[in-house]
Chain A
């Protein structure tokens, strides 16, 4: 299909720049994008007859990574203090 309607996974690397220019960065557009991403994730991994631990574990892993990223300053400071002393 046309470039602006394709989801992110089907956009080639060369067309990434143009694709970014076509998508809307308004509040509604961003919210819609978040909604679509969440609904596609749910439909693929959670709303199935026989889901496993994969659905929630990926969410938890993502949460772990995010929290580590947010607290990186604290970790690096603590490790530098411990390593030096």
Chain B
């Protein structure tokens, strides 16, 4: 129930949150007559004053036939008895049930409020953590700078190595070329000398050399025979 009849924002300082409902309502005696009436008559007539007033009024109404007793009176009496009995018997149960409903509503609303507060708290902490993290971005940039410097260095050294290898290959080629050339010249010269020597050995010189070798061998064999 939206309490539209309660005055809100009547003072300069608006009451927020809305003040809670009063615990108990105005006191009512016998379910019909407010307590203020009894208090109003107490100074003049004491405790029994209102009851005497009520009895006198009732008798006056009945006797003067201002209140007519007819079939509806009996019906009203029966209905009233039933209602009073029902209220006396089931009143507390219904009250407890309603209180329980109210409690559940309050608990759920409170839980929602607490949850929201909790989420906001965690959000605040997360935010603080993010701020702390953001302070470290200088370190991040230093690390990145170091990475890039290392990459550049590595690349430079790679290229240095390539240059070295290429130069070495070319120099090796030149050295190998020279060696090959010398080798070929040497071989060719040897071959040429051998060929000429072989050519210069005429058949007659060959026979003379062979005879000489045979004579030498014989002399040697003789000296060997003599030695043995």
A residues apposed to B, CB below 8 Å: 35, 38-39, 42-55, 57-58, 61, 68, 75-76, 78-79, 82
B25 touches which one: A52, A57, A78, A82 (CB < 8 A)? A52
B28 touches which one: A52, A78, A79 (CB < 8 A)? A52
* A-B pairs, 8 with minimum CB distance: A54-B28, A39-B5, A48-B25, A79-B68, A75-B68, A44-B26, A45-B25, A57-B31
Could you tell me if B31 and A54 are in contact, using CB atoms closer than 8 angstroms?
Answer: yes
Could you tell me if B1 and A53 are in contact, using CB atoms closer than 8 angstroms?
Answer: no
Number of chain B residues whose Cβ lies closer than 8 Å to a Cβ of chain A: 25
Could you tell me if A76 and B91 are in contact, using CB atoms closer than 8 angstroms?
Answer: no
A35 to B1, CA, bound (A): 18
A53 to B28, CA, bound (A): 9
SS of A interface (majority): helix
Residue of A nearest to B5 (CB): A39
Question: How many A-B Cβ pairs are below 8 Å?
Answer: 69
A66 to B6, CA, bound (A): 28
B6 touches which one: A35, A47, A57 (CB < 8 A)? A47
Taking A61-B32, A79-B65 as contacts, is the C-beta distance between A47 and B1 under 8 angstroms?
A: yes
Taking A43-B6, A47-B6 as contacts, is the C-beta distance between A53 and B87 under 8 angstroms?
A: yes
Most buried by B among A38, A43, A61: A43
Give the residues in chain A near B208, CB-CB below 8 Å: none
A52 touches which one: B21, B34, B91, B99 (CB < 8 A)? B91
B residues apposed to A, CB below 8 Å: 1, 3, 5-6, 20-26, 28, 31-32, 34, 65, 67-70, 87, 91, 95, 99, 102
Could you tell me if A54 and B68 are in contact, using CB atoms closer than 8 angstroms?
Answer: no
Residue of B nearest to A36 (CB): B5
Give the residues in chain B near A46, CB-CB below 8 Å: 25
Could you tell me if A53 and B68 are in contact, using CB atoms closer than 8 angstroms?
Answer: no
Most buried by A among B5, B6, B20, B23: B5
Could you tell me if B32 and A58 are in contact, using CB atoms closer than 8 angstroms?
Answer: yes
Given contacts A49-B22, A52-B28, 6 further A-B contacts (CB under 8 A): A48-B23, A49-B21, A49-B24, A50-B99, A68-B67, A76-B65
Could you tell me if B68 and A58 are in contact, using CB atoms closer than 8 angstroms?
Answer: no
Could you tell me if A75 and B28 are in contact, using CB atoms closer than 8 angstroms?
Answer: no
Give the residues in chain A near B20, CB-CB below 8 Å: 49
Could you tell me if B5 and A43 are in contact, using CB atoms closer than 8 angstroms?
Answer: yes
B68 touches which one: A47, A49, A51, A76 (CB < 8 A)? A76
A45 touches which one: B21, B28, B91 (CB < 8 A)? B28
A50 touches which one: B28, B87, B95 (CB < 8 A)? B95
A58 to B70, CA, bound (A): 23
A45 to B5, CA, bound (A): 13
